[in-house]
Amino acid sequence: MRALAVLVVGAAAVVVVLGLVLFSPSGVSKLSHLQEEERALGGQAAQKRAENTQMMQETRLLRGDSEASRLVLEKKAREELGYIAPGEIVVNLPATGGR
């Protein structure tokens, strides 16, 4: 009879611990949520690393003194700053109306 009582108490303890693990705020659902968040942050970090690498390459190119560097720098100046070389004429065309 004593062995049965120990078995029942042990089983009850297992059920209580299992219930706490499954249903407590810091249990399995919290772990699942944190794992999902970790995956999302890992993807964002990889994207930011790729952007950083691209910016570093662009910075190296813009700081260089080669013909390619000069052309890229001129293209950026024209597109982003509206640079116009001496003797050039600017023609602004209206945007198409989507017809």
Would you say residue 28 has pLDDT above 70?
Answer: yes
Q: What is the pLDDT of residues 44-85, one digit of tens each?
A: 999 999 999 999 998 888 888 888 888 888 888 888 988 888
- The average confidence (pLDDT) of the chain is 85
Query: Could you tell me the end-to-end alpha-carbon distance of the chain, in angstroms, rounded to an integer?
Result: 90
**CA gap 54, 48 in Å, rounded:** 10
- Chain-centroid distance of CA 62 in Å reads 26
Identify whether the C-beta of residue 51 lies closer than 8 Å to the C-beta of residue 45.
Answer: no
| Contact partners, residue 20, CB within 8 Å, separation at least 6 | 27
Which residues touch 50 (CB under 8 Å, ≥6 apart)? none
Whole-prediction pTM: 0.50
